[in-house]
Amino acid sequence: MSVLNCLRQWLMTCPLLEGQRLNVNFLGPEGLEYNLVENPVSPILATYLDGSTVRQKAVSLTSVQDYSPDLLEQISASGFWEEVTEWITARAEADDLPRLEEGRTATGLSVTSAPYLFSTTATTARYQLQLLLTYEQEPDQDQT
């Protein structure tokens, strides 16, 4: 199973995403939908003599949600993203990290940007939160 899919499964345990679909590299035009998309980053941070590596995977957790000039709706969306950020941070601080496939071990997960409004139309808004997963990989494992 890919590192991205393991991270996706871990995120799906967030109570705030319960019952929602979390796509991978796809976000439709209408709300409510969530997406996990890979961001460009150098995958290997360090290589050891035995061939093992320290790696990273940068992703954005995005959504398309209903949007309007209604202040309560705007505050609700902001509060949702704040709670998701707090959940991710608390799980990472408790060392409750994604379980990766054999030969890979997650070592850290951090929120690298505050959630923000990425773009809007007259009726929808796209929000984004950026994450960075670091992990160790034993030698001779497939790269993903």
Q: Is the pLDDT of residue 142 over 60?
A: no
Report the range out of 71-75, 89-93, 114-118 with the highest average pLDDT.
89-93
Q: What's the whole-number average pLDDT of the chain?
A: 91
Indicate the Cα dihedral angle 136, 107, 24, 73, nearest 10°: -170
- Per residue in 96-141, pLDDT tens? 999 999 999 999 999 999 998 888 888 888 999 999 999 999 997 6
The pLDDT assigned to 141 comes to: 60
84 burial (CB, 10 Å; 0-12 / 13-18 / 19+) is buried
- Average of per-residue pLDDT across 36-54: 96
- Average of per-residue pLDDT across 70-95: 88
C-beta contacts of 22-29 below 8 A and 24+ residues apart: 27/62, 27/63, 27/64, 27/126, 28/64, 29/64, 29/124
Q: Does 33 or 36 have the greater pLDDT score? A: 36
The pLDDT assigned to 77 comes to: 76
